[in-house]
C-alpha cells in the first residue's frame, strides 16, 4: 500500500470517526507496512494500540482490505523510536488485546470479535422509574428460559443504557447458560461482516454462522437503515432465527416505526415482540447513579472527601444523558485528586463549568409565551396581538422580560416574535418589569414561579 493510499484511508477514517477521535487516536498511528496478509501500524504506546485496536481495528481492517484485498488482519506495534519503553516491541493484533470476551467464535475470518465491557453488568446497572421496564425485560431474557417475546426491542436516546443492558444480558447468560451460543455485535459490525463475506464469496459461512446462534443481539440497528442489501440479509437472518425460536435482542435510538429508510416489513417484524423504551433519566435515577459511581470512586481515591449536596447539585443540573453524568464525575474526581481538595460545590462548579453550561436547559420564546399566558389565564393570541389593555399588556411585558433574561435572543428578534413589535417597545417592557420587580411583591412572585416552571 502506498502512502497516498494510506492518506486516502485516513481521510475516510476522519469522516467516519469524527474529528476528535481522529485527532486523538488515528492521527498518531502510522502505517509501517504490509507483510503477507497483515497490515502493520506503528502506535506511540501500548495503551494507544489497545484502544485503537478495540475501537477502530475493525473499521481500519475494513478500509485497508478494500484497498488491498490480501489483507486480513491489522496489527499495532509500539514504534521503537517513539515508545516510552524502547524495544518493547509488543504487538496488539486485532484479536490480541484480550477482548474481555470473544462473543463470536464460529466465524473463521478476520473479523472475529465483539468485546464486551466488563463494567456493563446487571450489578452495576441502577434501576429507576425511567428504565425499570427495560431492565425487567432484559433480566427475563438473561435467564435464558423459553423465549416469551421475540424480539426484545430496546430503544431510547443516547447514553441511557441500551448497550449496558445488552452486555449485561450476555454476561449473565454466559454464567447461567454456558451451553448457549450468544452473539453480541453492533449493526455496523454486522454490516462489515456482511460486506466482507460478499467480497470473499463466503456468504454460506456467513449465513451458517449467524443461523447457528442461540441468542443474537444487534446494537444500534438504526445504522442499517438505507443500506439495502445489508437490510435484506439482516431480515433473512432475523426471520431464520425467529422461526427456530431463538432469542433476538435489538437496540436502536428510536422506535421501529420511526427509523427512516427501513423497509416496512422489517419495521413490522421488529414490532412484533416486546418494544420497550428507556426514558430520559429523572432526578432520582440520576442521583442513584451518582451515588453508586461516587461510592466506587471514593474507594479508588482513599483520602478524598465529598461535601454534602454535591451529588444533589449535579443530579439537578446535569442533563438526562448518563454518559455525560459519568464523565462529569470522573473529571471531578480526577481533578480533586490532583489538587488534593475536598470535593465541594465550588470545586464542582469550577471544574465542570463547561458541562454545566452545556446542559442548561434552552428555553424558547414560544415556551415562555405559552407558560406566561397560561399563568395569567389569557389567550396566546392576546399576548401576541395588538390589544393594549393592562390585562394583556402586563403579561406581555413579563414574557418579554423573561425572553430577555432566559434566552440569547436580541431585542429586535423578541419584538418580531411578539407580533412584530419594535425593539424599543421590548426595551420599555423589560425596564418596566425590572422596576415593578422591586416595587410589587406579586410581580416578583410571579416571575419566580414562571422561572422555576420554565427551568423544568
Ligand atoms: P446507550 O447504549 O443507550 O447509548 P450506554 O449503555 O452506552 O448507553 O450507557 C452510557 C453510559 O452510562 C455507560 O457507561 C453505562 O454504564 C452508563 N449507564 C447508563 N444507564 C445506567 C444505569 N441505569 N446505571 C448505571 N450506569 C448506567
Ligand atoms: Mg449504545
Least distant ligand from the CA of 157: 1
Give the strand pairing for 38-43 and 30-35: antiparallel
Q: How far is CA 280 from CA 135, 155, 348, 378, 422, in A?
A: 14, 11, 23, 32, 40
pLDDT above 50 for 422: yes
Whose CA is closest to 341, among 313, 301, 314?
301
Segment 229-247, tens digit of pLDDT: 899 999 999 999 999 999 9
Confidence of residue 94 (pLDDT cuts 50, 70, 90): very low
Distance 280 CA to ligand 2 centre (A): 14
Backbone angles phi, psi at 89, to 5 degrees: 65, 5
Residue-averaged pLDDT of the chain: 86
Q: Is the dihedral of CA 150, 155, 161, 163 positive or negative?
A: positive
Instruction: Check residue 293 and give its pLDDT.
Output: 94
Distance 160 CA to ligand 2 centre (A): 8
Instruction: Check residue 108 and give its pLDDT.
Output: 34
Average pLDDT over residues 4-12: 90
Segment 328-382, tens digit of pLDDT: 999 999 889 888 778 999 999 998 988 888 777 678 899 999 999 999 999 999 9
Give yes or no for residue 158 CB within 6 A of ligand 1.
yes
pLDDT above 70 for 59: yes
Query: What is d(CA 375, CA 420) in angstroms, rounded to the nearest whole number?
Result: 23
Average pLDDT over residues 187-207: 88
Under a CB-based contact definition with an 8 Å cutoff, are residues 295 and 333 in contact?
Answer: no
Give yes or no for residue 163 CB within 6 A of ligand 1.
yes
Least distant ligand from the CA of 291: 1
Confidence of residue 18 (pLDDT cuts 50, 70, 90): confident
Residue listed under C-alpha cell 456482511: 194
Give yes or no for residue 131 CB within 6 A of ligand 1.
yes
pLDDT above 80 for 327: yes
Segment 143-173, tens digit of pLDDT: 998 888 999 999 999 999 999 999 999 999 9
Distance 159 CA to ligand 2 centre (A): 7
Confidence of residue 93 (pLDDT cuts 50, 70, 90): very low
% of the chain with per-residue pLDDT over 70? 91
Provide the whole-model pTM. 0.64
Query: What is d(CA 329, CA 298) in angstroms, rounded to the nearest whole number?
Result: 11
pLDDT above 80 for 213: yes
The residue ranges of DSSP E strands in 50-138, in sequence order, are: 73-78, 91-93
Q: Please enumerate in sequence order all residues whose Cβ is within 8 A of that of 246, keeping only pairs 6 or more positions apart, or say none.
A: 147, 213, 214, 215, 216
Under a CB-based contact definition with an 8 Å cutoff, are residues 101 and 170 in contact?
Answer: yes
Which residue minimizes the CA distance to atom 25 of ligand 1? 125
Average pLDDT over residues 387-416: 93
Under a CB-based contact definition with an 8 Å cutoff, are residues 422 and 409 in contact?
Answer: no
Instruction: Check residue 456 and give its pLDDT.
Output: 62
Instruction: Check residue 65 and give its pLDDT.
Output: 85
Q: Please enumerate in sequence order all residues whose Cβ is within 8 A of that of 340, keeping only pairs 6 or more positions apart, or say none.
A: none
Confidence of residue 135 (pLDDT cuts 50, 70, 90): very high
Amino acid at each position: 500500500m502506498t502512502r497516498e493510499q494510506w492518506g486516502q484511508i485516513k481521510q475516510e477514517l476522519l469522516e467516519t470517526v469524527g474529528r476528535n477521535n481522529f485527532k486523538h487516536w488515528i492521527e498518531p498511528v502510522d502505517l509501517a507496512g504490509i507483510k503477507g496478509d497483515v497490515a502493520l501500524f506503528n502506535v506511540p504506546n501500548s495503551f494507544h494500540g489497545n484502544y485503537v485496536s478495540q475501537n477502530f481495528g475493525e473499521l481500519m481492517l475494513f478500509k485497508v482490505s478494500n484497498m488491498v484485498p490480501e489483507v486480513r488482519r491489522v496489527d499495532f506495534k509500539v514504534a521503537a523510536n517513539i515508545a516510552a519503553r524502547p524495544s518493547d516491541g509488543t504487538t496488539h493484533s486485532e484479536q490480541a488485546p484480550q477482548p474481555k470476551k470473544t462473543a463470536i467464535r464460529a466465524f473463521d475470518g478476520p473479523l472475529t470479535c465483539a468485546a464486551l465491557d466488563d463494567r456493563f453488568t446487571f450489578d452495576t446497572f441502577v434501576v429507576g422509574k425511567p428504565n425499570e421496564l427495560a431492565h425487567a425485560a432484559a433480566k427475563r431474557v438473561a435467564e435464558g428460559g423459553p423465549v416469551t417475546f421475540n424480539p426484545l426491542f430496546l430503544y431510547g436516546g443516547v447514553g441511557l443504557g441500551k448497550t449496558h443492558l445488552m452486555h449485561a444480558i450476555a454476561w449473565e447468560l454466559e454464567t447461567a447458560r454456558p451451553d448457549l451460543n450468544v452473539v453480541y455485535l453492533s449493526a455496523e459490525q454486522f454490516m462489515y461482516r456482511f460486506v466482507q463475506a460478499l467480497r470473499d464469496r463466503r456468504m454460506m459461512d456467513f449465513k451458517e454462522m449467524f443461523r447457528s446462534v442461540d441468542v443474537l443481539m444487534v446494537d444500534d440497528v438504526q445504522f442499517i437503515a438505507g443500506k439495502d442489501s445489508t437490510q435484506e440479509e439482516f431480515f433473512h437472518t432475523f426471520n431464520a432465527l425467529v422461526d427456530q425460536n431463538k432469542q433476538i435482542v435489538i437496540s436502536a435510538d428510536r422506535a421501529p416505526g420511526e427509523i427512516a429508510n427501513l423497509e416496512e416489513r422489517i419495521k413490522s417484524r421488529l414490532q412484533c415482540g416486546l418494544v420497550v423504551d428507556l426514558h430520559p433519566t429523572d432526578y432520582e435515577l440520576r442521583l442513584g447513579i451518582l451515588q453508586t459511581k461516587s461510592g466506587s470512586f471514593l474507594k479508588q481515591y482513599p483520602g478524598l472527601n465529598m461535601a454534602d449536596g454535591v451529588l444533589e447539585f449535579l443530579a439537578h443540573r446535569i442533563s438526562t444523558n448518563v454518559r455525560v453524568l459519568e464523565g462529569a464525575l470522573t473529571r471531578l474526581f480526577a481533578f480533586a485528586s490532583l489538587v488534593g481538595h475536598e470535593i465541594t460545590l465550588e470545586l464542582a462548579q469550577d471544574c465542570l463549568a463547561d458541562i454545566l453550561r452545556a446542559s442548561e436547559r434552552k428555553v424558547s420564546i414560544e415556551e415562555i409565551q405559552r407558560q406566561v399566558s397560561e399563568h395569567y389565564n389569557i389567550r396566546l393570541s392576546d399576548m401576541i396581538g395588538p390589544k393594549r389593555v393592562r390585562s394583556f399588556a402586563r403579561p406581555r411585558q413579563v414574557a418579554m422580560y423573561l425572553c430577555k433574561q432566559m434566552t440569547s435572543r436580541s431585542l429586535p428578534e423578541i419584538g418580531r416574535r411578539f407580533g412584530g413589535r419594535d425593539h424599543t417597545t421590548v426595551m420599555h417592557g423589560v425596564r418596566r418589569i425590572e422596576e415593578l420587580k422591586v416595587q410589587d411583591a406579586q410581580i416578583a412572585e410571579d416571575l419566580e414561579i414562571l422561572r422555576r416552571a420554565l427551568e423544568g
